[in-house]
Amino acid sequence: MNAFLLSRIWRIDPLVTPFLRLCAFIGLTLYALNSAWAQPAPLPRPLMLDGSQNTLSLAGRSTFWVDASGAMTPQQLEARYNDLPFGVRAPGSRVQLTQGAVLWVRFDAEVKDNSAHWELELTHSGTDRVSLFHRRADGGWHAQHAGDRLAVRDWAYPDRYPVFALDPRVDQPVTYWVRIEHARVPFSGELLVHNHNTLRELRIHQQFLLGAYFGMAALLVATAVANALVFRDTSFAAYAVYVTVLGLALAASLGVGGQFVWPAWPRWNGLAEFVLLPLTAVSGLLFVRHVVQPRRIGRGLDRLALSLAGVFLVLTAWDVVRPTASSLQAVTAAGALTMVLVYAMLWAAWRTGDRWVRWIALGILPVLIAGTLPVLRNFGLVSSGFLSQYGMVMAAAIEAPLLIYGLLQRSSMQHEAQTRARALALTEPLTGLTNRHNFMLRLHESLVRAQRYQHRSALLLIDLDNHAWFADTHGREVADRALVLTGSLLRSVARDVDTAGRVNDSTLALLMEGPVREAQVVAAATSIVAGGLRPSSQLPVGATLKFKVVLALLPDAASGSDLESNAQAHLDWLGTGLGTLRQDGRRTILKLNF
């Protein structure tokens, strides 16, 4: 008929322009192509399940069609297959299903090896409902169901992913119909046919690796909680919350939660991924804000973080109460903005130069990169695959040691600062020795013990005789350095039970707890004087530390009850002796009562 029409057009009056002939030719060509396209897609050859391959993909071996009404039954599809526009399902195929629409996938399989059992797996969790239909040998229909709208324990075969058994009939092709309901998110899950033993072995390997990750996550949560309680560091508490929510979100997206944690809760099984993933983003945002602190990121980013966290929670509640494609797109967009904001906060904190901040940033970075895959999948830009399924798990495994190391560094620095602050109440800032107040307390307690147990302790008053010369000649900084060296020298001479302290600008003291002998006290004084005369690279060339040392045994037996346990009186007594010693330019050591 087409040839007849073309011949008649070509016989039209020669005045017909070539343009008209060209239009006629194009129209007839399009008509012919349309007629060819209207024919049903050629049915791919049946899968030969003969054991030569343990896993076969249905991509390119199956046909698909979207039933917009969702009312078709397998019987109706079987009868009208040649009239419906089924097409070959290509690898990486993505289908956006409207509300109430159903995706049908048809394939044929023929079992050649009766010693093996074959199963169909949808390698993607989070699908609303999946059903497999086929006719049994007696002509009746057999149906198997799975998906998030069912409790996992009610699936045909409870597993992480939907799994269905194929008919074991041998040497007879069987037609299978897969019915898929998956609203709001484009469906791109891959359908695979496995040998039963191969699938079980694959599951064992997967469960081992996932168990290692979730075990590590539980250990990290316990470690973080312990650190939060012991060190009273709320950053570890925030980290524990973040890791817990992240672990639950990954359990939901990988099917582990539905299989082991909430197998009897179909309502939550369907909502878990849509609730926990946004909560992970919010907890991660607040964790980063809390750890890096507003002063590092600026008031603007801080307010934006709090505002976005609130908006994100409102959008998540909207998506749970009235789930639509628009609500999911809004939540997904908020997730993308959250990742951008986290990156901005980490970049602002990175520029402060704190080393621990950089470890936190490096730890969060893999999760930010992997988090883009679910966002792109929800927007229909990428198909579900290995990276979209397991990318977050790998990123979280990389993140965990980096974050915990960064937090430990942060806690160590804060602890060091807090320890120094507490130490200031007991020690003198410049030399690190006991300050005057606490030294006087120790001296009083030593006097009381000496009187109670009838033994003698010793007190040495050490004056840096050339301290004023250092200050006048080389400046205050060198004079302070000389005092620091003096304090270090006293610590090296003092025993574990002794106390060294600074009593005024250039005078230090060493309390030697009793019982002590005279020879010990003299040896300590001699060691101090000799140590000061040794050259030091911290002092100007040719300069040494010159000391005047006054020593006495306490309590003084000759004074009777005059001094008793009066620490200040004993210190004044030695101070008087130090004044006498300063007038003698040749002597460096003065013994008061022995």
Rounded to 5 degrees, what are φ and ψ at 464? -80, 95
Task: Give the integer Cα–Cα distance in Å for 118 and 164.
Answer: 9
576 φψ region: left (φ > 0), alpha (ψ -120 to 50), beta (else): alpha
69-78 contact pairs (CB < 8 A, 24+): 69/100, 69/101, 70/100, 70/101, 70/102, 70/181, 72/102, 72/104, 74/133, 74/141, 74/177, 74/179, 75/141, 77/104, 77/106, 77/177, 78/175, 78/177
What is the C-alpha R_g of the chain?
42
Task: Give the integer Cα–Cα distance in Å for 313 and 310.
Answer: 5
**Residue 15 has what pLDDT?**
38
CATH topology of domain 436-591: Alpha-Beta Plaits (3.30.70)
With beta carbons less than 8 A apart as the criterion, state whether 380 and 196 touch. no
Give the predicted TM-score (pTM) of the model.
0.70
Strand partners, 183: 97
With beta carbons less than 8 A apart as the criterion, state whether 356 and 292 touch. no
3-class DSSP assignment, residue 507:
strand
3-class DSSP assignment, residue 88:
strand
Task: Give the integer Cα–Cα distance in Å for 175 and 190.
Answer: 19
Its CATH class, for the domain covering 47-199, is mainly beta
**Residue 560 has what pLDDT?**
54
CA-to-CA dists, residue 61 to 18, 91, 110, 166, angstroms: 46, 10, 13, 16
With beta carbons less than 8 A apart as the criterion, state whether 555 and 564 touch. yes
Task: Give the integer Cα–Cα distance in Å for 425 and 469.
Answer: 30
* Residue extents of the structural domains in the chain: 2-38, 47-199, 233-423, 436-591
Q: Do domains 47-199 and 436-591 have the same CATH topology?
A: no
* Residue 582: CB atoms within 10 Å: 14
- Give me the average pLDDT of each 10-residue run along the chain (594 residues): 41 41 44 41 78 91 94 94 93 88 96 88 91 94 94 92 94 94 89 94 93 93 92 91 95 92 90 93 95 87 94 95 91 94 91 86 92 86 82 92 90 70 74 90 91 90 94 93 94 93 92 92 94 92 94 76 76 91 88 87
With beta carbons less than 8 A apart as the criterion, state whether 586 and 551 touch. no
**Residue 584 has what pLDDT?**
83
**Residue 185 has what pLDDT?**
86
